[in-house]
A and B are shown apart, each in its own frame.
Chain A
C-alpha cells in the first residue's frame, strides 16, 4: 500500500514514520530539504523536495498510485486546497487533512473532507481534564 505525506514537520514526519513502521510504502513531500533529517537516518521511504500545490511535485511523489494521503503542512488553507486536489483530481480514496482552525475544520468536514483538528482535540481534552478534576462551581 502506498501513502503520500505532504508536509514534514513534527506531525507529518511522525505520521510518515508510523505508517512506514506499519508496512506502508511512504513518500514524503516538503519544501525544505532539511526536513528529511526529521525522518531519521534509517528512512527507507521516498522524499520529494517541492511545494504541495505544484502538481509536478505531487506526481513525482506518486500521488497517481497512492492509496492514502496525509496533508499536514503548516498552512491551513494550503492543506485544504491540496487535500481537495488529491481527492478530486488524483482520486486518492483516503485523504486526511490537518486543519488547526476549528471553524474551518468543521466547515470542510461537512463537505466530504476527512479532517483532523488538533486545536479542537486540545480544547476538548483540556475541558474534560478540568471537569474531571476540579470541584464543580456553585450554580447559585
Chain B
C-alpha cells in the first residue's frame, strides 16, 4: 500500500517507521529544516522537505498517484484539515486520517467531512472516565463514520432497570446492550440476563440516542 504521511513529528515519524517495517511504501513530508535533516539521515528518500499544505509539495510527494491512505498528523489542526480536504476532494485519496491536536477543533473536522480523526486528549479522557465509576455514560469508542458510540454504563442501586430482565427493558431506537461485567467476569447480554446494581454494561448506540440510553438505564 502507498501511504502519504504529512508531518514528521513524534506521531508521523513513528507511524512511518512502523509502516515501512510492515513493508508499505511511504512518503513523509516535514517542514522544519532541523527535524527534516534528522529524519532524512535515518530514512533517506522516504522524507521530503516542504509545507504539506502547498499543492506543489503534495504533488512532489505523489498525491496524484493517489496514495491509498493519507495521514495528516502535523501539530496544527488547520493544516491537518486543509491537507485532508485537498487530498480527498482534489485528488480522490480514498482515506484520510487526521490528527486533532485541540479537542475543541473536533467539531470543525466533523463539519468539513473529515470523519476519521484521532485525538490524544479525547482518548486519554475516555480512559480516565473509564477508571472512575459513578460517571453516567462513558464513551469508550467513537465510530465516526458509522455514527455509533460504544459506551459503558454502571448500573446503580437506584437505576430504573436494576432487577429487570433485559428482555423487558424498553431501550431507545438505535441501541443494543452487548455485555455485562460482574464479579470479575464478562457475560454477553441475553434477553433473560437480569441487570444488577454494580454491573458494568457495554452498549452500542447511535450518537444521537446516547442521552436517551443513559436515561433508560440510569434514570438521569
Q: A residues engaging B (CB < 8 A)?
A: 53-55, 75-78, 80-81, 84-85, 88-89, 101, 103-104, 107, 111
Contacts and interface: CB of A to CB of B under 8 A. Distances in A.
A75 B82 contact: no
A57 B78 CA distance: 17
Interface string B52-90: 011110000000000000000000111101100010011
Contacts of B55: 103-104, 107
Q: Is the interface of A mostly helix, strand, loop or mixed?
A: helix
B108 interface: yes
A107 B78 CA distance: 16
Interface of B: 53-56, 76-79, 81-82, 86, 89-90, 104-105, 107-108, 111-112
A80 B78 contact: yes
Contacts of A84: 111-112
B86 A107 contact: yes
Given A55-B107, A103-B55, A107-B55, A75 B78 contact: yes
Contacts of A81: 77-78, 81-82, 108, 112
B104 to A, nearest CB: 7
A40 to B, nearest CB: 30
Given A54-B104, A103-B55, A104-B55, A77 B82 contact: yes
Contacts of A55: 104, 107
Contacts of B86: 104, 107
Contacts of A78: 78
Contacts of B111: 84-85, 88-89
Nearest to A80: B82
A104 B78 contact: no
B191 to A, nearest CB: 43
Contacts of A54: 104
Given A53-B108, A55-B107, A107 B76 contact: no
A85 B105 CA distance: 11
A77 B76 contact: yes
Contacts of A104: 53-55, 82, 86
Contacts of A77: 53, 76, 78-79, 81-82
Contact of B105 (A53, A103, A107, A111): A53
Given A77-B53, A101-B54, A85 B108 contact: yes
